[in-house]
Chains A and B, each alone.
Chain A
Amino acid sequence: MYLRSDERSPAVGNRLALRIALFGGVAVVLFGVLFFRLWRLQVLDGAQYLAEAKNNRTREYRVTAPRGEILDRNGEVLVGNRTSLALQVNTRKLPENLTERRTELSRLAALTHSNLRRVRRTMHEELKLAPAAPVTLRRDVGRFLVYYLQENQERFPGVEIKHVFVRDYPEGTVAAHILGNVGEISERELREPRFRGLQPGDEIGQDGVEDTYDHFLRGDPGLTRIQVDALGQPTPNGRLVTKPPVPGESLKLSLDFAVQAAGEAALAARGLPGGFVTMDVHSGEILGIGSFPTFDPATFTRPLTQRQVDDTYNNPLAPLADRAITGLYPTGSTFKLVTAVAALESGILTPTRSIYDGGKLTVGEQTFQNAGGVSFGSLSLVRALEVSSDVFFYTLGQEMWDSGEIQRWAHKLGIGRPSGIDLPGAAEGLLPSQHWRNQLYAEGETDRPWSVGDGIQLATGQGDLQTNPLQMAIAYAALGNGGTVVTPHVGKELTDAAGRVLREFGPKPQRQVKIAPGTRTAILEGLHDAAQGPEGTSYGIFGNFPVPVAGKTGTAQRAGHADQSWYVILAPYPDPKIVTAVTIEEGGFGAESAAPAALQILEAYFNKQSKGSAGPNGGSPG
């Protein structure tokens, strides 16, 4: 001890000085540590902490924008929005006590036909995405559940009822296949460039025009960024950025509600699976397109029951399939138009050339018969089309079996290739050719190479051919309008909420095909006689129709099925404005079911015209 008294000796002073120097050294080290640490936090890592702090204090809430409406060409609402009640849980207001919280969630689960595990999972997933936002447990909850929750509010702290937008279909099932539906975006879709900027939980169009025109219908969600304090509570005047939601644009379709409804009713009246298309031959605007059986798009706005799942997804009749564009069928005699164009344009046939129809044509060991075995004697093209002589076209098929002319013209007219329609899922079809079959044969996929018989089959729309009403309508339209292969489309224009046109859709025709005027005249005449000539195949249906028309029946033989009924019709004759193609699976002869269905559609179309309301092409036909 150096402290012996108040006075210090020099030796004691030295020992004290050492201790004080050490003390000072420790102080220097400690301050050095603090300065270094401060430097690291603020200067070296400052930017990172600043970002953290900014992230700390804001919460973003997205405000969903209402989707645009979908209208028919006359402004009739096909898809609108209704507000629906959604059950949300604000996790911050749930009871702190874990047992109470559990009890409340179980009660909620029971009320919403769910279970505790599923509720917990939903909450967990949604909270991961938006930490402070309320979690939507169920959309479209019933009125009675809402009343119950409101009456028992004190038993359900943190439970809120929110208004959300849900798709509404005032016309029920009409145009169900075209409209499509709306659903939550999937993880895979989130990665696609067309959905950039969307977030999990956002709704996008699924199928139909909801999908094709999703970008326009979707609108822009609003954004409310709120400054929050440490408890996540909004601070006063803490509304930082508020971007109002921009509602989606309204989509006006080219569909004519009257035609659409008539087409669907006509199919439904037959009660057999089938499809139809009615299209403007010049512009490619589709006035009606439908399929049977159909479904109620409103089912998809709320969770499906098992019965609904069975009725839609597990139904062998596949009500979700749009047979007008996804069907793959042989066409029967309706294909004769293509064969006729090919024969006339390639020069092997003239309108005046006669071919003898003895009721059957024998090639090698194969015999091809007229339907019913009747013999029409000597025929020219017009009459062959009127009575639908098979032997006439068998002969043409035999002559062109390996020249590829039928396929060349079928391809030009749009058979067996993408049509460019603005609906998802359209089928390409199959146009059988010599090259195709020989390739299959070479690969051992089939038992024989291309033969004369294949050419003969194709000439009358039988055999391997696979197409659908849409492609047939396009081919007929091309002949009817003098050679323009249109791009079919249902989207007509976009309008804003006030009805102003923002953008018109008028896709360019796919291509021009050179068809000699003589060819067109002769074939149209034959089709006209087939529909309205006394011996025409569909005279019984269209004989007394007030508007002159040109239509062709078809009866396709499908392996494993009864005959499929077809009818394709151009109206009015001789300068057609619209084309309608109908097919009915197992509907028998063309005149049996497809032609009457087509009649119903044309009646709806021309009725409306004669009543003077604005039709697709204005004015009334002559």
Chain B
Amino acid sequence: MYATRARQARIEPFAVRPGIAERLGLPYMDAPLGLGAAALAAFSVFTLSQSTLHDVPGSPHYYVDRQAIYAVLGIVGMYLLARIDYSRFRELRVGIYTFLCVSISLVFVFGFAARGSRRAFELPFFSFQPSELGKVLLVLALSGFVIDGARNGSDWQRTVRYLCLGLAPAALVFLQPDLGTSLVFGAITLAVMYVGGVRWTHFAVIGAALVALVAVVLVVAPAVGTPLLKDYQTQRLTSFLHPSEDPGDAGYQQDQAKTAIGSGEKTGRGDRATQTRLDFVPERHTDFIFAVIGERYGFIGAALVLSLYALLIWRALRIVTLSKNSYGTLVAGGIAAMLLFQVFVNVGMNLGIMPITGIPLPLMSYGGSSVLATFLAVGVLQSIHMQARLSQRGRFAW
């Protein structure tokens, strides 16, 4: 067994007298995970500093400065969270879940509308998007419910309960409307259930239901005249299947992003980049930042970014197996799934193989809520890692 072997093979790295590093808890953390996340954030700041100079008239560093601040706050948050025993969140699951649903609901009342959807609160220096933080909160709360629910009810009852618990906030987000984030919520729910041991047969049923749902939403409902998705949403979801059909619309964005990435070739075009510098690619500081990387830094840069994500997910999966308790396993699994889903859908969308769903690229896309939430998620992973390490030593950090 991989996890067991790893435990035996590892040499205890601690001195008899705790040094400064140990007091800070650094030796208990997973260095590749933290450094990888920090490197991605740094790369994001670097990319924005080169590509968004002219985006906000009069303040060339608008995005760079803000993203740098978010990254620093995120790293601090990650560190602080790592020092807290995540197991407490299991006890707080009801509170977390309530906060999650209420904060998302409040957006409908107090949120400000951008491009036809209410997703965020306007705060003094940045706008806070509850659904971003909600991804992490959902992992924490749902994992707690799964552990809890393992003791009562039949298998089917449990499966239905988890699904309802996960899909309720997803539905709220969907109504904002924010299709992309609600899909992330769905992915998290399924992943936690999967790691939590829900039966394969249940997943088969859920899978069949999903297929039926997609068919109803995309084909049947519009056909009978009661479309459930807004036109632009349907278009965005299906345009990747025929990207060049209408260069004026959704397919156009994807075409331009593809052209941007392709034109970067092996080593990138640097400041000679045109696709992502001259507005051909939309949302280039957020959803399509991967296209900027592809065009500016070529295959080398894009592959480096992908490799860093692969590193994060590998470390996350490793932490799943290291966790000292089942709650940690579920949380780490949920976070790994959250990262994997977002990276694959966002990069796939940039590369023209996934639909446009408005999912940010974790740590790279500009946006305080997303950067902070992702760092907090990494912080939770660090906490699981730290607790596992400390339990091996037979003592607690605090």
Q: Which residue numbers of A lie inside 8 Å of B, CB to CB?
A: 1-8, 10, 13-17, 19-20, 23-24, 26-27, 30-31, 33-35, 37-39, 41-43, 45-50, 52-54, 56-57, 227-231, 235
The smallest C-beta distance from B16 to any residue of chain A, in angstroms, reads 30
Q: How far is the CA of A3 from the CA of B195 in the complex (A)?
A: 10
| Given A43-B299, A49-B261, A49-B262, CB of A17 within 8 Å of CB of B2 | yes
Query: Within 8 Å CB of A19, what residues of B?
Result: 194-195, 197
Q: How far is the CA of A229 from the CA of B276 in the complex (A)?
A: 10
Interface: B326 (CB within 8 A): yes
Q: A23 and B298: CB pair below 8 A?
A: no
Q: A23 and B317: CB pair below 8 A?
A: yes
Q: A53 and B259: CB pair below 8 A?
A: yes
Q: B303 and A35: CB pair below 8 A?
A: yes
- The residue among A3, A7, A35, A49 with the most chain B CB atoms within 10 A of its own CB is A3
Q: A20 and B317: CB pair below 8 A?
A: yes
Name which residue of chain A comes closest to B150, CB basis: A3
Q: How far is the CA of A46 from the CA of B300 in the complex (A)?
A: 13
Q: B261 and A38: CB pair below 8 A?
A: yes
A-B contact pairs, 11 of them (CB 8 A): A3-B150, A17-B2, A27-B336, A33-B348, A33-B353, A35-B303, A35-B306, A37-B352, A38-B306, A52-B262, A53-B263
| Given A23-B317, A35-B306, A38-B302, CB of A46 within 8 Å of CB of B265 | yes
Q: B326 and A56: CB pair below 8 A?
A: no
Q: How far is the CA of A39 from the CA of B353 in the complex (A)?
A: 14
Q: A46 and B197: CB pair below 8 A?
A: no
Q: How far is the CA of A31 from the CA of B344 in the complex (A)?
A: 7
**Complex A-B, nearest 10 residue pairs according to Cβ-Cβ distance, in ascending order:** A49-B262, A46-B265, A53-B263, A3-B150, A42-B299, A50-B263, A230-B279, A57-B274, A41-B262, A229-B278
Given B1, B260, B261, which contacts A14 in the complex, CB threshold below 8 Å? B1
Q: A20 and B259: CB pair below 8 A?
A: no
Q: B274 and A53: CB pair below 8 A?
A: yes
Query: Within 8 Å CB of A54, what residues of B?
Result: 263, 274
Given A15, A26, A50, A235, which contacts B265 in the complex, CB threshold below 8 Å? A50
The smallest C-beta distance from B251 to any residue of chain A, in angstroms, reads 14
Q: B259 and A49: CB pair below 8 A?
A: yes
Q: B340 and A27: CB pair below 8 A?
A: yes
Q: A46 and B279: CB pair below 8 A?
A: no
* Contact digits for B288-310, partner A, Cβ 8 Å, 1 yes 0 no: 00000011001100110010011
Interface: B130 (CB within 8 A): no
Total A-B pairs in contact (CB under 8 Å)?
161
Q: How far is the CA of A500 from the CA of B266 in the complex (A)?
A: 54
Q: A38 and B278: CB pair below 8 A?
A: no
Identify which of residues 100-152 in chain B touch chain A, using a CB-to-CB cut-off of 8 Å. Answer: 146-147, 150-151
Q: How far is the CA of A35 from the CA of B348 in the complex (A)?
A: 10
Query: Within 8 Å CB of A17, what residues of B?
Result: 1-3, 321
| Given A47-B265, A56-B280, CB of A42 within 8 Å of CB of B298 | yes
| Given A45-B262, A47-B265, A54-B274, CB of A6 within 8 Å of CB of B197 | no
| Given A1-B150, A2-B197, A23-B336, CB of A49 within 8 Å of CB of B258 | yes
Q: Beyond A42-B299, A46-B265, list 13 extra A-B contacts (CB 8 Å).
A: A1-B155, A1-B198, A7-B325, A16-B195, A16-B197, A23-B337, A34-B344, A38-B261, A38-B302, A46-B263, A46-B266, A49-B258, A49-B259
Q: B321 and A20: CB pair below 8 A?
A: yes
Q: B146 and A3: CB pair below 8 A?
A: yes
Query: Within 8 Å CB of A31, what residues of B?
Result: 306, 309-310, 313, 344
Name which residue of chain A comes closest to B199, CB basis: A1
Identify which of residues 321-374 in chain B touch chain A, using a CB-to-CB cut-off of 8 Å. Answer: 321, 325-327, 329, 333, 336-337, 340, 343-344, 347-348, 351-353
Interface: B256 (CB within 8 A): yes
Q: A42 and B265: CB pair below 8 A?
A: yes
Query: Within 8 Å CB of A24, what residues of B?
Result: 314, 317
Q: A37 and B262: CB pair below 8 A?
A: no
Name which residue of chain A comes closest to B324, CB basis: A6
Interface: B66 (CB within 8 A): no
Interface: B180 (CB within 8 A): no
Given A14, A23, A228, which contacts B278 in the complex, CB threshold below 8 Å? A228
Q: B264 and A13: CB pair below 8 A?
A: no
| Given A1-B150, A34-B306, CB of A42 within 8 Å of CB of B197 | no
Query: Within 8 Å CB of A13, what residues of B?
Result: 1, 3
Q: A42 and B195: CB pair below 8 A?
A: no
Q: How far is the CA of A228 from the CA of B343 in the complex (A)?
A: 32
Query: Within 8 Å CB of A2, what residues of B?
Result: 197
Name which residue of chain B comes closest to A1, CB basis: B197
Identify which of residues 197-227 in chain B touch chain A, using a CB-to-CB cut-off of 8 Å. Answer: 197-199
Interface: B275 (CB within 8 A): yes
Q: How far is the CA of A221 from the CA of B313 in the complex (A)?
A: 59
Q: How far is the CA of A2 from the CA of B195 in the complex (A)?
A: 10
Q: How far is the CA of A24 from the CA of B259 in the complex (A)?
A: 31
Q: B279 and A6: CB pair below 8 A?
A: no
Q: How far is the CA of A27 from the CA of B316 in the complex (A)?
A: 11
- The residue among B258, B262, B294, B343 with the most chain A CB atoms within 10 A of its own CB is B262
Q: B1 and A42: CB pair below 8 A?
A: no
Query: Within 8 Å CB of A57, what residues of B?
Result: 274-275, 278, 280
Interface: B81 (CB within 8 A): no
